[in-house]
Structure 1
Amino acid sequence: MECKTLFSEILERQSDLLERVRHAAHEAHAAVNQFYGRDLPYSYHLDGVAELVARYGGEVCTRAEDVPAVMFGAWFHDSIEDARLTYNDVRKRARSLGLDEAQAFMAAEIVYALTNEKGRTRVERAGVKYYEGIRATPYAPMVKLADRIANVRFSLRQASDYNHRMARVYREEWPHFLASLWPATDDPRMGLPQEMVLQLCELLGVDGKGMFED
């Protein structure tokens, strides 16, 4: 894939497929009565993540045929963790919605990589093994970064004590979070779009200068 323009063109050409994926993801979380914040449907968060992936995915996506899998991963990223789906459920759901076998496998791998480990604390649920899995899975680092941006945005816009506390947690976690996602390979599919990283720096009020300088 050459550029973000081509990525956007593929999104447009695949709009019917992607709308089916979006609707199915919304339904999966609605079926378990999951909300975002106090009263928003969880689809609010899913769409926020997918919007970021659609905007920046062209910076890391290397093949046109990967686009549906990447977008599926964005919309379904919490479906194993929160919507009671298994890995095989996700893979079958992707096939039933129109992804081919290779795309369904890639999509399920992204979702699986972003599923927290079992743990009593936040640190245990997102430990070394969790981030190793993300760094080893094509496009998972970008989707995880989009997930964090969407959550930070929401926390900063809310007035509740809980959201203010979460904003502080995200700021404190930032150095470890970035280091844990930072690619250990030249494979662009594992990369973090520069604009996304700098956007999150700005939201968190941290200095991003020099981060991408040689």
Structure 2
Amino acid sequence: MSMDKQVIVAALRYAAALHDGTYRPDRARTPFVSHLSETAELVAQAGGSPAEVAAAWLHDAVEDGLTTVEDLAQRFGREVADLVAAVSDAPEDVGRAIAERKAIQAERLAAAPEGAKRIKLAEQISILKALAVERPLSWSVERAEDYVEGSRLVAAACAAASPLLAERYAAALAAARH
């Protein structure tokens, strides 16, 4: 197995272990790893590097408090860790209202590396596709609407990094609005 494939498989395995027993907030209790898988697949389809695909598997691990950027740097290298750091909200932002949190993300991502923009855009697509099917059980209609609208700011900051993902985002946005 090539080094490139090894880092992706190692990231997939670590992400699956970290998120074991966690589920998407839907009635079907879909394993959370399905969101990570969809995000990583979209990044790969957009031509993301192996480090970007690995970071897509790990993109929620730091923000969810399951590991640290330094742990990821030791396990997967600085490039993967820096990409995860670039798409992770600061702990003090996690509790903010969705609209405010999305505005902060958009501002941070505007200056982020292209790879981070691809990961974040892929993540937004995955979440909007899920929202189009079913609103998370713990979310009010207002929170879902705020998320959808806030995601537009994030997508605008990231769209130039991948025309393919920008197109898929537009389709996911249209579906989520209905």
What amino acid sits opposite 2:79 in the alignment?
Answer: M
Please state if 1:133 is matched with 2:102. no
Q: What is the number of residues matched between the two proteins?
A: 168
**1:1-214 paired onto structure 2 within 5 Å:** 14-30=4-20, 33-38=21-26, 39-56=29-46, 58=47, 67-94=49-76, 104-117=77-90, 118-119=92-93, 120-128=96-104, 130-138=105-113, 139-158=115-134, 165=141, 167-181=144-158, 191-205=160-174
Say which SS state the counterpart of residue 19 (structure 2) adopts.
Answer: helix
The one-letter code of the counterpart of 1:176 is L
Shift in alpha-carbon separation, 1:155–1:105, aligned structure 2, 3 A: same
Q: Structure 1 residues 80 and 40 mapped into 2: Cα distance closer, same or farther (>3 Å)?
A: same
Query: Structure 2: any 5+ residue segments left out of the alignment?
Result: none
Give the number of the structure with larger relative contact order, counting CA–CA contacts within 8 Å between residues 6 or more apart: 2
Please list the CA deviations of residues 79-133 of structure 1 after superposition, one character each: whole Å capped at 9, or x if unmatched.
Answer: 1011421110111121xxxxxxxxx1111111111111213322443443x4343
Does the Cα contact within 8 Å between 2:121 and 2:154 map onto a contact in 1? no
Please state how far the C-alpha of 1:14 moved relative to its aligned partner: 3.8
1: CA distance, partners of 2:97 / 2:144: 17
Any stretches of 5+ residues in structure 1 without a counterpart? 1-10, 62-66, 95-103, 183-190, 207-214
Amino acid of the structure 2 residue aligned with 1:135 = A
Q: CA RMSD in A?
A: 2.8
1:34 counterpart letter in structure 2: T
Contact 1:29–1:83 (8 Å) recurs in 2: no
Tell me the SS of whatever aligns to 2:89: coil
Any conservation in 1 of the 2:11–2:54 contact (CA below 8 Å)?
yes
Contact 1:109 1:137 (C-alpha < 8 Å) held by counterparts = no
Instruction: Compute the TM-score of the two structures, normalised by the length of structure 1.
Output: 0.67
CA contact (8 A) 2:43 2:53 kept: yes
> CA deviation digits over 1:59-98, x for unaligned, max 9?
xx5xxxxx2211111000011011421110111121xxxx
- Kindly name which structure, 1 or 2, has the bigger radius of gyration based on alpha carbons: 1
- Aligned identity (percent) is 24
Please give the TM-score of this superposition, normalised by the length of structure 2: 0.79
